[in-house]
């Protein structure tokens, strides 16, 4: 593992982890996020049973 | 007290939202496809196009998809052809949307197959039927036997029957869940079982990071750090690549009437094992040359006495003999070295020389001519062999350059000189295929360019958030892919199976199935963790595959007026045929990899390009950004407008232009494969048939939509 490799890993892993951490922070710090946020998993097409 | 409870409930709801949003995006792409793609495209050098694609394409186009979907939903459309129709008032619009149906359905056909691998591995771990060994080769053999990788039709001829049963079981489970529409269970799974998968992956990661060098005596270079180096070093470290050897960048094989010379130059090798001296020795051994004895200091001195050519200190050497002819393969590092010498001890014929290139795509066989030294029979023979084995060429009068996606080989016809050039850092970056694959991987794992997000977001309400939801899903997904998938599979594969395996993994998805059992074999309670990991991965794959058919179901319902159950039955029939086709052509997993490339990378890339252009240039940035910002829980930064309007389209079209030039305009590897390989032809034929079927369904849907619109207009006029 070269120095450049370590740098690449830190940038990639660090960058993406920071972005994810920021998203979590926004979910907790913004009022009413939970009511408005959605994922594929909780969006129910109208033709399926609940 | 009640205030405290409310606060706790809010906290719990938010945690649940994060888990659901992240969990819904995680699947096979993160833990299996990403490492396979990175390994096939140069390891560390792949990461740069990958990160560029994540920031410049993945995030903005995910926002575009969520916004387009909700926009289409407001206009009464849930399928991609319908959504495109609402955005672009052209007769062609719904037909362009065929990609949004074709892609998920084609991917579903092999996704269920890989799902069955996960279920099979979970079953074998649970029942103790996995090989109880620390021999890395045993897991490779197990995988090959399980999927029937060595011959077509193994699952149907009784040699790999188990996989057929697991596939049918997965198919039945998927269609039961889709048919019944059991959404609650899926939501529950994403919220709670996905975190368990991530936790399990973290435990596996800790074990991988503490592997060290499991076999320091025999395989000192197969260490975790070198494995990490392969994954992350933008320029590969020569010492890490060839066990015990210094690697080189260029190999020149020069042949003349009475002598053969192999010269290696440079010090860095970025992905072509045969280029180093050990690789040459290996290739010769494959051709039937027997090793005489390990080189000693004495024999080295003797060699020096015979030949006064200056030579740099070598760290490894091999002496091989066949029919009385001895080849002395020396390993050296420096500006110009002689690496292979031919000692004409006895003039005998060499009936056959086979050089197998470890990537598995090139095989050069020369036979039937008498040699007194190593000699490539002639340039035409060499060329023929390369042509058969999927190398593309760019010809000029006196020079032919052949290349596959990793290596360039220049064959100079006049003096029969062949130069094999291993791709360096810049070579990898200059390869449009790498950039296309990186973008394709981002789209695949973020589910962008599939048509799935558009369909699901079309069911959202006007005031629902798309900005933070999409960003959180992308970030969580990227975290699982880079921080977990990227740190586990490739380093572990390097440690247990070595460089050659990493360079030539068994299909895009196969690497994890050969590598991870090695990690579990070196863990406490490995059998339990093996079961848990593969079972959770199986469940993650099920949640992804269930959503893949929703775009096509939406079209069948809204366009043709079919019920959900009828739509599911039609899709079940189509996808089962496709899945059985892919499973039948299991040799080298060629059918799966072909459909994965053309549907899972190429078509996704095209659809993502169309979507971003429609959003920015047809719907318009003002309208589009207003849609994106509506109900948003975060403010979308201003530079995203520039990314969507200019950067992403130019990026996508430029890479695509270069890719077309590299692959389609000329005698390329991909064209050769389509022309020469029946399985590739059938696989593309399968995609084409599904596309035609959907085009027909879209045509019917357009008639129905037009009819409904005409009726609505008549009613308006009447009222």
Helix (H, G, I), strand (E, B) or coil at B610: helix
Compute the half-sphere exposure of residue B123: CA atoms within 13 Å on the CB side of its CA.
13
- Name beta bridge partners: B254: B261, B417
Chain B hits for A47, CB-CB cut-off 8 Å, are: 181, 553, 557, 564
B232:A28 CB<8 A: no
Chain A hits for B235, CB-CB cut-off 8 Å, are: 2, 4
Q: Is B394 exposed, middle or buried (0-12, 13-18, 19+ CB in 10 A)?
A: middle
DSSP secondary structure letter of residue B378 = -
Instruction: Provide the pLDDT for residue B61.
Output: 95
Nearest to B476 among A6, A20, A45 (CB): A20
Chain A hits for B472, CB-CB cut-off 8 Å, are: 20, 23-24, 27, 37
Chain A hits for B438, CB-CB cut-off 8 Å, are: none
B191:A41 CB<8 A: yes
CA–CA distance, B72 with B74 (Å, rounded to integer) = 5
The structural domains of chain B, with segments of one domain joined by +, span 2-212+427-718, 241-423
B473:A39 CB<8 A: yes
How high is the ipTM of this complex? 0.94
B234:A5 CB<8 A: yes
Instruction: Find out whether B48 and B234 touch, Cβ atoms under 8 Å.
Output: yes
Instruction: Provide the pLDDT for residue B594.
Output: 92
Chain A hits for B545, CB-CB cut-off 8 Å, are: none
Residue of chain B with shortest Cα separation from A49:
B181
pTM above 0.90, yes or no: no
A5:B469 CB<8 A: no
CA–CA distance, B335 with B263 (Å, rounded to integer) = 10
Residues in chain A: 50
Mutation for B interface: A6, A8, A25, A37, most B CBs within 10 A: A37
Any B CB within 8 A of A44 CB: yes
Instruction: Find out whether B384 and B215 touch, Cβ atoms under 8 Å.
Output: no
The distance of A29 to chain B (nearest Cα, Å) reads 10
Residue of chain A with shortest Cα separation from B482:
A13
Could you tell me the pLDDT band of residue A25, with boundaries at 50, 70 and 90? very high
Nearest to A9 among B232, B472, B554 (CB): B232
Q: CA B45, B47, B49 angle in degrees (round to 5)?
A: 90
A8:B181 CB<8 A: no
Low-confidence residues of chain B: pLDDT under 50 = 1, 238-281, 283, 286-287, 293-317, 323-325, 328-422
The 3-state DSSP composition of chain A as helix, strand, coil percent (nearest 5) reads 70, 0, 30
Instruction: Provide the pLDDT for residue B427.
Output: 66
Q: How many CB atoms lie within 10 A of CB B165?
A: 14
B459:A11 CB<8 A: no
The distance of B547 to chain A (nearest Cα, Å) reads 8
What are B24-52's pLDDT values in tens digits?
Answer: 778 888 988 898 888 878 777 889 999 99
Any B CB within 8 A of A29 CB: no
B127-132 contacts: CB < 8 A, separation 24 or more?
B128/B527, B130/B517, B130/B527, B130/B530, B131/B517, B132/B521
Helix (H, G, I), strand (E, B) or coil at B342: strand
* B2-212+427-718: CATH number: 1.20.1740
Instruction: Find out whether B621 and B644 touch, Cβ atoms under 8 Å.
Output: yes
Mutation for A interface: B11, B54, B183, B545, most A CBs within 10 A: B183
Nearest to A23 among B23, B186, B468 (CB): B468
The distance of A10 to chain B (nearest Cα, Å) reads 10
CA–CA distance, B16 with B189 (Å, rounded to integer) = 11
What are B187-237's pLDDT values in tens digits?
Answer: 677 777 888 888 999 999 999 999 988 888 877 778 898 889 888 887 655
DSSP secondary structure of B187-234 = HHIIIIIHHHHHHHHHHHHHHHHT---S-TTT-TT--HHHHHHHHH-S
Examine the pLDDT at A31 and tell me if it is beyond 80: yes
The distance of B178 to chain A (nearest Cα, Å) reads 9
The distance of A25 to chain B (nearest Cα, Å) reads 10
CA–CA distance, B441 with B428 (Å, rounded to integer) = 16
Any B CB within 8 A of A10 CB: no
Instruction: Provide the pLDDT for residue B321.
Output: 55
Nearest to B459 among A2, A24, A45 (CB): A45
B468:A15 CB<8 A: no
The distance of A49 to chain B (nearest Cα, Å) reads 6
CA-based diameter of chain B, in Å? Answer: 106
Q: Which residue has the tokens 């309208």?
A: B623
Nearest to B471 among A9, A23, A28 (CB): A23
The distance of A32 to chain B (nearest Cα, Å) reads 9
DSSP secondary structure letter of residue B157 = T
Any B CB within 8 A of A31 CB: no
A49:B182 CB<8 A: yes
């Amino acid at each position: 593992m070269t120095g450049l490799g370590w740098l690449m890993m830190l940038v990639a892993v660090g960058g993406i982890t920071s972005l994810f951490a920021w998203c979590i922070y926004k979910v907790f710090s913004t009022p009413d996020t939970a009511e408005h946020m959605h994922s594929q998993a909780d969006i129910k097409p109208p033709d399926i049973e609940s | 007290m009640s205030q405290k409870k409310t606060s706790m409930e809010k906290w719990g709801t938010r945690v649940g939202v994060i888990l659901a949003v992240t969990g819904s995006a995680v699947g096979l792409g993160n833990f299996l496809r990403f490492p396979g793609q990175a390994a096939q495209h140069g390891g560390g050098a792949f990461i740069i196009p990958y990160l560029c694609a994540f920031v410049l394409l993945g995030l903005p186009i995910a926002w575009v998809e969520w916004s387009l979907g909700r926009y289409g939903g407001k206009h009464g459309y849930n399928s991609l052809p319908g959504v495109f129709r609402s955005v672009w008032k052209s007769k062609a619009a719904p037909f362009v949307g065929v990609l949004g149906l074709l892609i998920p359905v084609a991917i579903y056909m092999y996704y269920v197959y890989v799902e069955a691998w996960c279920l099979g591995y979970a079953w074998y771990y649970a029942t103790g039927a996995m090989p109880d060994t620390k021999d890395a080769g045993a897991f490779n053999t197990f995988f090959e036997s399980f999927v029937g990788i060595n011959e077509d039709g193994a699952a149907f001829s009784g040699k790999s029957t188990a996989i057929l049963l697991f596939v049918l079981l997965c198919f039945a489970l998927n269609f039961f869940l889709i048919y019944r529409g059991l959404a609650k269970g899926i939501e529950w799974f994403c919220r709670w079982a996905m975190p368990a998968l991530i936790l399990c992956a973290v435990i596996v990661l800790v074990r991988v990071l503490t592997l060290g060098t499991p076999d320091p005596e025999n395989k000192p270079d197969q260490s975790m750090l070198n494995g990490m180096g392969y994954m992350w070093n933008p320029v590969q470290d020569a010492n890490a690549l060839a066990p015990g050897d210094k690697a080189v960048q260029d190999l020149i094989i020069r042949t003349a009437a009475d002598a053969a010379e192999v010269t290696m130059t440079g010090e860095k090798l970025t992905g072509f094992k045969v280029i180093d001296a050990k690789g040459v020795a290996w290739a010769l051994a494959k051709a039937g040359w027997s090793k005489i004895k390990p080189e000693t200091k004495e024999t080295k001195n003797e060699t020096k006495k015979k030949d006064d050519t200056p030579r740099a200190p070598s760290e490894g050497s091999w002496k091989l003999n066949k029919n009385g002819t001895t080849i002395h393969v020396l390993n050296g590092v420096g500006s110009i070295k002689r690496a292979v010498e031919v000692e004409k001890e006895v003039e005998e014929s060499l009936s056959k020389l086979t050089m197998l290139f470890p990537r598995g795509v090139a095989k050069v066989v020369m036979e039937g001519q008498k040699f007194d030294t190593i000699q490539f029979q002639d340039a035409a023979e060499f060329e023929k062999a390369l042509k058969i084995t999927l190398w593309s060429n760019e010809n000029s009068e006196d020079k032919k350059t052949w290349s596959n996606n990793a290596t360039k080989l220049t064959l100079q016809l006049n003096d029969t000189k062949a130069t094999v050039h291993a791709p360096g850092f810049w070579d990898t970056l200059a390869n449009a295929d790498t950039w296309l694959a990186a973008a394709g991987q981002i789209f695949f794992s973020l589910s962008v360019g599939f048509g799935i997000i558009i369909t699901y977001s079309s069911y959202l309400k006007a005031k629902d958030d798309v900005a933070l939801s999409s960003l959180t899903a992308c970030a969580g997904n990227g975290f699982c892919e880079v921080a977990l998938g990227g740190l586990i599979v490739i380093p572990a594969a390097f440690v247990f199976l070595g460089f050659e395996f990493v360079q030539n993994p068994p299909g895009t998805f196969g690497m994890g199935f050969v590598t991870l059992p090695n990690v579990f074999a070196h863990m406490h309670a490995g059998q339990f963790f093996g079961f848990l990991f593969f079972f959770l991965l199986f469940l993650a794959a099920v949640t992804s595959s269930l959503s893949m058919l929703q775009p096509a179901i939406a079209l069948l319902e809204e366009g043709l007026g079919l019920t959900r159950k009828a739509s599911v039955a039609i899709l079940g029939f189509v996808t089962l045929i496709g899945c059985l086709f892919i499973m039948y052509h299991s040799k080298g997993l060629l059918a799966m990899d072909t459909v994965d490339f053309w549907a899972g990378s190429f078509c996704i890339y095209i659809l993502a390009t169309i979507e971003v252009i429609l959003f920015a240039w047809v719907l318009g940035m003002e309208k589009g950004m207003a849609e994106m910002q509506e109900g948003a829980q975060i403010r979308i930064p201003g530079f995203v407008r520039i990314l969507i309007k200019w950067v992403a389209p130019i990026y996508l079209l430029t890479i695509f232009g270069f890719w077309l030039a590299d692959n389609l305009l000329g005698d390329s590897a991909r064209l050769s494969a389509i022309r020469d390989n029946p399985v590739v032809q059938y696989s593309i034929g399968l995609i084409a048939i599904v596309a035609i079927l959907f085009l027909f369904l879209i045509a019917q849907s357009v008639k129905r939509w037009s009819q409904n619109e005409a009726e609505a207009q008549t009613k308006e006029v009447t009222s």
